[in-house]
């Protein structure tokens, strides 16, 4: 134990007013408390909250065995391992414990404290909830082990610990929270716990038969939804809910909030939040169509710039805009940076990527050929293998204008099609040998993401619209002078200026799914020729991309918007 624990948490109790709950938060690569984009966003949110000195506390699970450590077998198949990490190296266990009945047993929860340091003197506390305690039944000790572990029952137990456990831990520690922010529906049970404290007198009911007052709960809850993909919205059978939660809440009452057939966590959060947010303009429109009757606002996602700028770019930015990390608006003049400096910073980041590829795959990429990058969760709607739809066509594009490709990404172990895509990509890599250098880097995480997004020349994004709610890796690429070649979906709808910040694949119709032909066309006739024939124009685009994307698509702006539009305005209602 590193510090006197009471004192450690004590300094946060007086000032903190906002609690942000997320199933995953990417705090640092060595802490395996995240799986992908949702967690990285939560981490960047916390980093900006610390920089902006916001009165926030973050609550998540400790995920002792992580999400998954990815190994690729000889046949190109993903082999998933546990990915344990050591909480004692980064966090301190607090003395407080709370107990919750889950499945008829008392389950004890202990929070660990991780302190996140901002750019100035400020820190924000992150609480990591842990059930691995001697007083728990062996089965319950593992509830907080595996992030997104298998099975509905396990998942619901985790969400009970996060939502209900989290709110009670905050209370037991002595926090006075005004506003609760649910990052995705996983945390929705916290709003249900608040609702239970607002029972109406027995002779009163609200319209529809609810015996609780919703208004005071809605005044305190903010909900951000992150996906238009149906499977992304957790649903649990009422049998399971009864089994795990017992008489915590009357099931007929719960059905009024959560839907007649299943407990849908998104419905709970929508009903009990006074401010509902989609993560990009297009996503807010899609969410409104999916869940009619709710007002869905949009504060578009961002990234924490200092976290995602390669050192060579960070130095360049610091020379010209000393406060860029804190005041990203300063980077509006990045379009005036000297060409030579921008190209050198890029080549230095590219050389780091080439070194990483060499070390991990023994493939030697060239600094003189453009590198295309694609790294994200391997799942069907993102179409990671679209580039390989027609290998002959791809090879002929590359004969005209040679290029190289770097891939990375994990598939959720229960996502069969996602795992198949990884295997298919490896088969395509074999088939293209000698014609195009394509590599797959196993173990996509924050550290690898940084090397990738800063080292590539072109960042590829090929989702089926409107499934990509926002996407943030393209923002990271743009900050480092990478040019986006992307389907018009999510954040890119807002950032795209054709031939200026990057390029679109296909046209701007949300219901139109761009084909591989559209990708090959744009690549072969526009993107690659520009790289080889007009380097000055390419660098001009890099600078346009930095100045137009980084100034807006950052978590400083995002959090200032959340504070004014969601936290303060919602709290004042």
Ligand X SMILES: *Cc1c(COP(=O)(O)O)cnc(C)c1O
Whole-number Å distance between alpha carbons of 48 and 40: 12
Total residues contacting ligand X by CB under 6 A comes to 12
Least CB distance from residue 376 to ligand X, whole Å? 3
Q: Within 10 A of 433 (CB to CB), how many other CB atoms are there?
A: 11
Nearest to 184 by CA among 37, 313, 38: 38
Q: What is the dihedral of CA 243, 247, 250, 252, to 10 degrees?
A: 30
- Please, which residue, 84 or 443, has the CB nearer to ligand X? 443
Least CB distance from residue 493 to ligand X, whole Å? 14
- Please, which residue, 157 or 183, has the CB nearer to ligand X? 183
Tell me which residues in 364-393 interact with ligand X (CB under 6 A): 376
Task: Choose which of 444, 531, 538, 553 interacts with ligand X (CB under 6 A).
Answer: 444
Tell me which residues in 219-278 interact with ligand X (CB under 6 A): none
Whole-number Å distance between alpha carbons of 462 and 516: 9
Least CB distance from residue 244 to ligand X, whole Å? 30
Is residue 467 a contact residue for ligand X (CB under 6 A)?
A: no
Least CB distance from residue 39 to ligand X, whole Å? 8
Contact (Cβ atoms closer than 8 angstroms) between residue 506 and residue 512? yes
Least CB distance from residue 477 to ligand X, whole Å? 9
Whole-number Å distance between alpha carbons of 111 and 95: 8
Site pattern 476..505 for ligand X (x: CB under 6 A): x-----------------------------
Any bridge partners for residue 109, and if so which?
Answer: 98
- Please, which residue, 37 or 93, has the CB nearer to ligand X? 37
Q: List, in sequence order, every beta strand (DSSP E) within 23-68.
A: 56-61
Task: Choose which of 273, 312, 462, 473 interacts with ligand X (CB under 6 A).
Answer: 473
Task: Choose which of 471, 481, 482, 506 interacts with ligand X (CB under 6 A).
Answer: 471
- Please, which residue, 429 or 449, has the CB nearer to ligand X? 449
Least CB distance from residue 418 to ligand X, whole Å? 13
- Please, which residue, 54 or 487, has the CB nearer to ligand X? 487
Whole-number Å distance between alpha carbons of 494 and 390: 30
Least CB distance from residue 449 to ligand X, whole Å? 3
Contact (Cβ atoms closer than 8 angstroms) between residue 555 and residue 307? no
Is residue 109 a contact residue for ligand X (CB under 6 A)?
A: no
- Please, which residue, 44 or 457, has the CB nearer to ligand X? 44
Tell me which residues in 530-569 interact with ligand X (CB under 6 A): none
Q: Is 345 left (phi over 0), alpha (psi -120 to 50) or beta?
A: alpha
Name the one range near ligand X by CB under 6 A: 272-280, 335-343, 472-480, 501-509.
472-480
Burial of 131 (0-12, 13-18, 19+ CB in 10 A): buried
Contact (Cβ atoms closer than 8 angstroms) between residue 224 and residue 184? yes
Name the one range near ligand X by CB under 6 A: 67-75, 155-163, 445-453, 480-488.
445-453
Q: Cα separations (Å) of 480 from 86, 289, 400, 456, 506?
A: 32, 35, 27, 9, 25
Nearest to 196 by CA among 164, 170, 244: 164
The first and second tokens of residue 267, run together, are: 């419905």
Least CB distance from residue 375 to ligand X, whole Å? 7
Least CB distance from residue 472 to ligand X, whole Å? 4
- Please, which residue, 24 or 140, has the CB nearer to ligand X? 24
Is residue 446 a contact residue for ligand X (CB under 6 A)?
A: yes
Name the one range near ligand X by CB under 6 A: 46-54, 236-244, 438-446, 519-527.
438-446
- Please, which residue, 40 or 217, has the CB nearer to ligand X? 40
- Please, which residue, 16 or 473, has the CB nearer to ligand X? 473
Nearest to 342 by CA among 208, 534, 495, 539: 539
Tell me which residues in 202-221 interact with ligand X (CB under 6 A): none
- Please, which residue, 149 or 471, has the CB nearer to ligand X? 471
Nearest to 403 by CA among 353, 367, 374, 427: 367
Q: Within 10 A of 393 (CB to CB), how many other CB atoms are there?
A: 15
Taking only Cα atoms into account, the Rg of the chain, rounded to an integer number of angstroms, comes to 24
Least CB distance from residue 26 to ligand X, whole Å? 7
Contact (Cβ atoms closer than 8 angstroms) between residue 474 and residue 552? no
Burial of 99 (0-12, 13-18, 19+ CB in 10 A): middle
- Please, which residue, 90 or 553, has the CB nearer to ligand X? 553
Q: Within 10 A of 303 (CB to CB), how many other CB atoms are there?
A: 29
- Please, which residue, 40 or 57, has the CB nearer to ligand X? 40
Least CB distance from residue 448 to ligand X, whole Å? 7
Name the one range near ligand X by CB under 6 A: 236-244, 353-361, 443-451, 559-567.
443-451
- Please, which residue, 244 or 406, has the CB nearer to ligand X? 406
Backbone φ, ψ for residue 494 (5° rounding): -85, -25
Contact (Cβ atoms closer than 8 angstroms) between residue 236 and residue 263? yes
Site pattern 19..48 for ligand X (x: CB under 6 A): -----------------xx--x--------
SS3 assignment, position 198:
coil
- Please, which residue, 383 or 401, has the CB nearer to ligand X? 383
Least CB distance from residue 178 to ligand X, whole Å? 30
Whole-number Å distance between alpha carbons of 331 and 308: 15
Task: Choose which of 63, 183, 472, 480 interacts with ligand X (CB under 6 A).
Answer: 472
Least CB distance from residue 1 to ligand X, whole Å? 31
The first and second tokens of residue 38, run together, are: 């949702």
Task: Choose which of 98, 127, 331, 449 interacts with ligand X (CB under 6 A).
Answer: 449
Q: Within 10 A of 565 (CB to CB), how many other CB atoms are there?
A: 15
Whole-number Å distance between alpha carbons of 190 and 22: 11
Q: Where on the chain is the footprint of ligand X (CB under 6 A)?
A: 36-37, 40, 376, 444-446, 449, 471-473, 476
């Amino acid at each position: 134990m590193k510090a006197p624990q009471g004192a450690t948490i004590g300094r946060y109790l007086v000032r903190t007013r906002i609690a942000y709950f997320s199933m995953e938060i990417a705090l640092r690569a060595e802490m395996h408390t995240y799986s992908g984009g949702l967690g990285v966003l939560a981490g960047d949110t916390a980093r900006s909250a610390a920089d902006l000195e916001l009165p926030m506390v973050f609550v998540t699970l400790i995920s002792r065995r992580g999400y998954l450590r990815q190994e690729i077998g000889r046949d190109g198949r993903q082999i998933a391992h546990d990915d344990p990490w050591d909480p004692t190296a980064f966090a301190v266990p607090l003395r407080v414990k709370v107990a919750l009945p889950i499945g008829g047993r008392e389950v004890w929860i202990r929070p660990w404290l991780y302190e996140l340091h901002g750019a100035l003197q400020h820190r924000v506390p992150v609480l990591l909830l842990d059930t691995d305690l001697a007083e728990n039944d062996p089965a319950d000790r593992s509830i907080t082990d595996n992030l997104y572990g298998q099975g509905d029952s396990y998942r619901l137990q985790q969400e009970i610990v996060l939502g209900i456990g989290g709110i009670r831990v905050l209370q037991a520690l002595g926090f006075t929270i005004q506003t609760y922010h649910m990052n995705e529906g996983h945390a929705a049970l916290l709003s249900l716990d608040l609702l239970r404290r607002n029972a109406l007198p027995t002779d009163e009911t609200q319209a529809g038969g609810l015996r609780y007052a919703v208004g005071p709960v809605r005044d305190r809850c903010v909900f951000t939804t992150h996906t238009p993909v149906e499977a992304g919205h957790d649903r649990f059978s009422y049998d399971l809910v009864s089994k795990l939660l017992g008489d915590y809440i009357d099931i007929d009452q719960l059905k009024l909030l959560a839907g007649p057939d299943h407990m849908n966590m998104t419905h709970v959060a929508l009903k009990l939040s006074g401010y509902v947010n989609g993560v990009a303009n297009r996503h807010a429109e899609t969410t409104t169509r999916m869940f009619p009757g709710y007002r869905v606002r949009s504060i578009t996602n961002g990234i924490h710039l200092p976290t995602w700028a390669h050192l060579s770019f960070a130095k360049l930015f610091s020379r010209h805009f000393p406060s860029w990390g804190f005041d990203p608006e300063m980077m509006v003049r990045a379009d005036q940076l000297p060409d030579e400096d921008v190209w050198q910073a890029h080549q230095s980041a590219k050389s780091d990527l080439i070194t990483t590829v060499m070390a991990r795959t023994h493939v030697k990429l060239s600094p003189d050929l453009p590198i295309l990058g694609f790294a994200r969760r391997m799942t069907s709607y993102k179409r990671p293998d679209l580039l390989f739809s027609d290998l002959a066509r791809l090879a002929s594009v590359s004969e005209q204008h040679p290029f190289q490709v770097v891939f990375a990404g994990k598939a959720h172990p229960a996502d069969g099609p996602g795992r198949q895509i990884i295997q298919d990509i490896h088969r395509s890599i074999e088939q293209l040998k000698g014609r195009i250098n394509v590599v797959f880097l196993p173990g996509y995480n924050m550290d690898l993401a940084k090397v990738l997004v800063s080292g590539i020349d072109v960042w590829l994004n090929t989702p089926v619209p409107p499934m990509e709610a926002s996407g943030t890796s393209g923002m990271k690429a743009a900050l480092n002078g990478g040019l986006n070649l992307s389907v018009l979906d999510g954040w890119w709808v807002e950032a795209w200026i054709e031939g200026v910040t990057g390029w679109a694949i296909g046209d701007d119709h949300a219901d139109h799914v761009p084909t591989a032909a559209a990708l090959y066309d744009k690549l072969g006739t526009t993107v690659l020729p520009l790289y080889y024939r007009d380097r000055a124009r390419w660098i001009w685009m890099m600078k346009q991309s930095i100045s137009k994307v980084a100034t807006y698509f950052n978590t400083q702006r995002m959090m200032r918007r959340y504070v004014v539009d969601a936290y303060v305005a919602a709290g004042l209602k």
